[in-house]
Structure 1
């Protein structure tokens, strides 16, 4: 009867007998798992609701294995006023409809990005990659506008006094007739159009401005 030796073994003579010596072979390092996420974990950054994405919207992906490290965009990463599509040293990229999305923050469980401004409303795919390893292609639906207000906490939205930038709060409330600033995303296209990832240094008009309504305590504010 014959036996087949493992490919990493050899026969060694010990005089009157033979012994099998196993030769250790170097093993390949384990591969990093691919990014893991689903449609319901891709949301408007100001709202946990899914299906609230529009071009030029701040968005968040929650998942696992999204990055090997944690990194936020810095001033040194911004070139010619444009946000990077890969944060240096991370290899992380987000593709929306095949276009690289500007990135603000990456971590193993969360990515904050900007939906490319030059996309149109309709069905599109989102993928997360680290170097050459990509997660699943997830289908999402973009709308023309998906307005959402950034929260200060579970009770209040983020708003400031326009005159000095201090936060509105129960101890620092707005007065009748005062101008306040609220922070939102998903307001849709602007005029003049903004390039994807371009940091705009002055106010840009909203293409759909006349369709927006702002209500406080159920009362609609006049359009000015």
Structure 2
């Protein structure tokens, strides 16, 4: 388990939505410095926050962040995109971009920060997935989150020798700009952020950040036909 107090933290996509809530949560729990990234970061006047540029599609951009944040001890892989469209008839280039951001983006970050975390005692890597990792019917987004879940589970094994705690987070719909157009029940970003950090500090390898995720996880042993987008509430 990794306590946040006294730690240096990186939050990708940390200037809006759930990322911004994570920044607030770790600051409240005593993080001494937080790198909050965005593709075009806005200035942040809080003394413990460093606004930093990051494009997770770019190996060079990720490497530059790892160099800047060489003191990092906890990394939240939160940056992601949601581009609509079915797999059969949707734009293939959009599907490829979805995988580049949601799967290979977190992997690039993990690869760049693994030696940083090792040098700083092991620390933790927290990857954001989705309840849609387990449900059919959400196109390339759900498929990308399923792939990201698998990547996280393998990274947990590969990073264990350097004592890096790897946490996978599953959440349903969160009240952010990403899903503003969806007429669904949504959790508050602050509540989800608190559950994520609770799980990290408790030493969990997986966090089910809301009741929807817990219900769907419990259904994974049932018929695959029941695992559809409608189950997300």
Q: Compare the two structures and name the one with the higher strand fraction.
A: 1
Query: Does the pair score TM above 0.5?
Result: no
Q: TM-score range by the shorter chain?
A: under 0.3
Larger Rg: 1
Give TM-score, length-normalised by structure 2: 0.24
Give TM-score, length-normalised by structure 1: 0.25
Q: Compare the two structures and name the one with the higher helix fraction.
A: 2
